[in-house]
Structure 1
């Protein structure tokens, strides 16, 4: 945990002394504390709930798995969602979710930074959850949820999203376009609304001049900023977080959004105006 963390998993002390903003040789203890805590975001709301569970106890993993691996037909799945107020959590790939999903379901892909985003966005460890997953990954998902305190998985959709479609149930989708289309639209209309859901440090390091920062961690606090009278574009760094944001916005009744495929990595290859790059390690 921390701010301005490197993506590298190993490094040398020599390189850290050269590049780490908090490892200046002349720093006092007080200066070090001030440096590493300045601008630090609050901890996710599920942290204290995990502390509470660790003190008071929790269900054995066998109980969690037995409860969570209940196979539910589309009708039973729909009834469970209506009767329990469960969050429908779709953990498939972002592209699959974009093509089709259960209305008001939340996307957090199992192949991305799954547990941290579940903790940050679902937050309440007592929240009942119903799963939509690729076949064979249900138990893995339930286990990984449990590792961060989310033990209330009630079951999963037997046959996955394909079974939901085959049953003739209502579906939804996310409009998703390549960065080249955003480039074309934004050049034609200078008032194109673009929202960047990366972390503040990523945004400050480099961003589209026309983009507004609405970090995914606090997306619910930014709901009033998304326009209701025009189509708007959402992007992250690579496409994973923007699809999470899209699912949350749609679950809140905001449907006039467009996801940018490939995120800022793809946007950098366009000619859209961007701010000058600033090394993240120099940001406070």
Structure 2
């Protein structure tokens, strides 16, 4: 069977391309659709269907642009109510793609419309299942997202539906089926996904805690809900965009790709109140940046941290990037629904400096310098890693304020007393540092290399305790 996984690491996202006899189907596409169109063109194939496993929360799907550009039919599972034309499949309905068949299996739980697609080859043999967020490798989809859109869909209700879907629809299928999930490790749609992005269903039945054969419904619900973190604030907004529709990516790009001189950039920022987002590396940002800009580096989990730290997807944004990387930044913002970039600084920060405009810097220290200060000055240390990382191992005497909770805990950052911020490697702590600087904090330093380098000094850390894994 000709099925390809198209994986995008920065979002831990997997789309799928299926082709037979000149007909193709795309499953759960990302916002930028040209790569899928090019892939089908390479096979001289016409994209017949765009299959959606559910209304996604962590990204804006490309289904509408694919339909517009190729004429493909959009397919959702039972109970879906999109605000645009689409096929709403019946449970068990079969779609033909060349000599292949795609069978819709309604598997509510992650969301009520969640649907798994069973792939059947030209000989009638069942090959694999495209599971969306119903079943991951090593995990299953979190059941608490839909309640942020539909209030009476509690996480307990959805977890119960997911238990039934897994036991009645997925687990009875053949062990040799290949599982093709929508996400891998790093996605916020589950809590302990494997770094592997495919597996056999039989192996998952043996190793995935949620598929344990003797697990009762109450035990399953408790296991599934234990340890869930608060989902990023942009998730419900992305769901609504996927349900109601959105501007085409072409329109978003046209609106965003406006080069602005330093003078024009500053004027637009003052007139609009747009957020100035600097996507350069932490080290370069610290050496100099446009006043009041914040840093979220493009060479990291950019889209996810934009979604965590910028609460409104409708926020107007002005970009500061390395030369010729503005299109990449705009595209990656649009993947998570931030469609309102209104321009970028032409020539990047170097142009700002060359124009003799005022800029700011951030103080950073090497771990060796911190080691000396730790002994003599005993500074306040603030660790902005996740609570699970902090609980596993941290500098003794430090306090934990996870980056995604920083806005709720600004009062814990002293303005008079000096302090130190760090994360694992420096990416997240620079986001935190830029936000603090923007809000008026000045008496702090960031640690180059973060906790990964601090551990190599003589600074005392708590003993590492292996995080418990739910069995």
TM-score > 0.5, shorter chain as reference: yes
What are the within-5 Å matches in structure 2 for residues 143-158 of structure 1?
Answer: 143-158=331-346
1:98 maps onto 2:315 in alignment: no
1:226 maps onto 2:413 in alignment: yes
User: Which has more radius of gyration?
Assistant: 2
CA 1:177/1:33 → structure 2, altered by over 3 Å: closer, same or farther? Answer: same
Distance in 2 (alpha carbons) for counterparts of 1:155 and 1:95? 24
In the other structure, the counterpart of 2:467 is: 280
Is the 1:3–1:36 contact (alpha carbons within 8 Å) kept by the matching residues of 2?
Answer: no
CA 1:4/1:258 → structure 2, altered by over 3 Å: closer, same or farther? Answer: farther
Superposed CA offset, 1:78-110 (max 9, x none): 011011110000001111001000111110001
Q: Structure 2: which 5+ residue stretches go unaligned?
A: 1-188
CA 1:17/1:154 → structure 2, altered by over 3 Å: closer, same or farther? Answer: same
What are the within-5 Å matches in structure 2 for residues 7-46 of structure 1?
Answer: 8-9=195-196, 27-46=215-234
Is the 1:106–1:247 contact (alpha carbons within 8 Å) kept by the matching residues of 2?
Answer: yes
In the other structure, the counterpart of 1:215 is: 402
1:63 to 247, 251, 259: 251
Superposed CA offset, 1:35-88 (max 9, x none): 232231221111111122122221111111111110000011001101111000
Distance in 1 (alpha carbons) for counterparts of 2:430 and 2:283? 9
In the other structure, the counterpart of 2:456 is: 269
1:187 maps onto 2:371 in alignment: no
Distance in 2 (alpha carbons) for counterparts of 1:136 and 1:30? 53
Counterpart secondary structure, 1:280:
coil
Distance in 2 (alpha carbons) for counterparts of 1:230 and 1:185? 14
CA 1:81/1:195 → structure 2, altered by over 3 Å: closer, same or farther? Answer: same
1:79 maps onto 2:281 in alignment: no
In the other structure, the counterpart of 1:168 is: 356
1:52 maps onto 2:240 in alignment: yes
Question: What is the count of residue pairs matched by the alignment?
Answer: 281
Is the 2:364–2:445 contact (alpha carbons within 8 Å) kept by the matching residues of 1?
Answer: yes
2:328 to 140, 148, 152: 140
Counterpart secondary structure, 2:409:
helix
CA 1:49/1:100 → structure 2, altered by over 3 Å: closer, same or farther? Answer: same
Distance in 1 (alpha carbons) for counterparts of 2:456 and 2:303? 31
Tell me which stretches of 4 or more aligned residues in structure 1 moved more than 6 Å: 11-18, 20-25
CA RMSD in angstroms comes to: 2.2
CA 1:73/1:196 → structure 2, altered by over 3 Å: closer, same or farther? Answer: same
Superposed CA offset, 1:122-156 (max 9, x none): 12011000000001111111011001000000010
1:119 maps onto 2:307 in alignment: yes
Query: Which is richer in helix?
Result: 1
Query: Which is richer in strand?
Result: 2
In the other structure, the counterpart of 1:202 is: 389
In the other structure, the counterpart of 1:236 is: 423
Query: Cα offset for 1:14?
Result: 7.0
Distance in 1 (alpha carbons) for counterparts of 2:458 and 2:262? 46
Is the 2:204–2:211 contact (alpha carbons within 8 Å) kept by the matching residues of 1?
Answer: no
Is the 2:260–2:345 contact (alpha carbons within 8 Å) kept by the matching residues of 1?
Answer: yes
Q: Structure 1: which 5+ residue stretches go unaligned?
A: none
Counterpart secondary structure, 2:242:
helix
CA 1:171/1:149 → structure 2, altered by over 3 Å: closer, same or farther? Answer: same
**Greater relative contact order (CA < 8 Å, ≥ 6 in sequence):** 1
